[in-house]
Amino acid sequence: MRSAVIVFPGSNCDRDCATSLERVTGQAPTMVWHAETELPDRLDLVVLPGGFAYGDYLRSGAMAARSPVMAAVKQHAEDGRLVTGICNGFQILTECGLLPGALMRNVTMRYICKDTPLAIENADTAFTRAYGDIEETVMPVGNGDGRYFADDDTLAALEDSGRVVFRYLDNPNGSSNDIAGIMNARGNVLGIMPHPDRCADPAIGRTGGWAFFRSLAEATA
């Protein structure tokens, strides 16, 4: 699998994503600085990592969504290739229009950092097939703007088309419909608020995100 991780000013999970991808696939991704205007050739996957791009000022992800590299990321998605955004990366995907809805301040108005149980709502996607018959997993969240919001029509469309991929079982952020992760209509772009990159290492006993990256590797094999 040929992959790339976009590095924004303030990102702090870009290396976590890179390490997880290399651990699962045996191949290190290319790290692409946000000011680049092109992506490497023949990429299978682009990852927008979590962290605090631009310090999370203005609206979280809004400034990063206007970085020069994002035109190439959008073209990559429009070509039908895989894109995933984790935490701040999910925010960027909504801000640039690759996913519907928005990420807002947590209902508690506080930063939340904890392990959270998730239901795997759609196991038949490029991001989840390696979970097999596993219906639930656990991943950590770490955000202050993790509350997914969309209008009723958008929520209905997501639910009816099976585009809600992960759902909170404890909903720490107050997200609409307990949504933790969604994908686009084509099924090649996914945003997820919890961090699979922080729990994909069997050596430390945190494996809730292992099948997430395994799924991506198998989808592009």
State which H helix or E strand residue 22 sits in.
helix 14-25
Question: Which one of the listed residues 87, 96, 113, 199 is annotated catalytic?
Answer: 87
Per-residue pLDDT reduced to its tens digit, 72-109: 999 999 999 999 999 999 999 999 999 999 999 999 99
Full-model pTM: 0.96
Active site residue 87: yes
Strand bridging mode 164-168 / 112-120: antiparallel
How many C-beta atoms lie closer than 10 Å to residue 38's C-beta?
11
Question: For residues 133 and 70, what is the distance between their CA atoms, to the nearest angstrom?
Answer: 35
Strand bridging mode 82-86 / 147-149: unpaired
Active site residue 195: yes
Strand-by-strand arrangement of the 179-183 sheet? 30-33, 3-7, 45-48, 82-86, 189-192, 179-183, 164-168, 112-120, 136-143
Specify the 3-state DSSP secondary structure of 167: strand
Per-residue pLDDT reduced to its tens digit, 30-86: 999 999 999 999 999 999 999 988 887 778 899 999 999 999 999 999 999 999 999
Q: CATH assignment of 3-219?
A: 3.40.50.880
Question: Which one of the listed residues 17, 76, 195, 199 is annotated catalytic?
Answer: 195
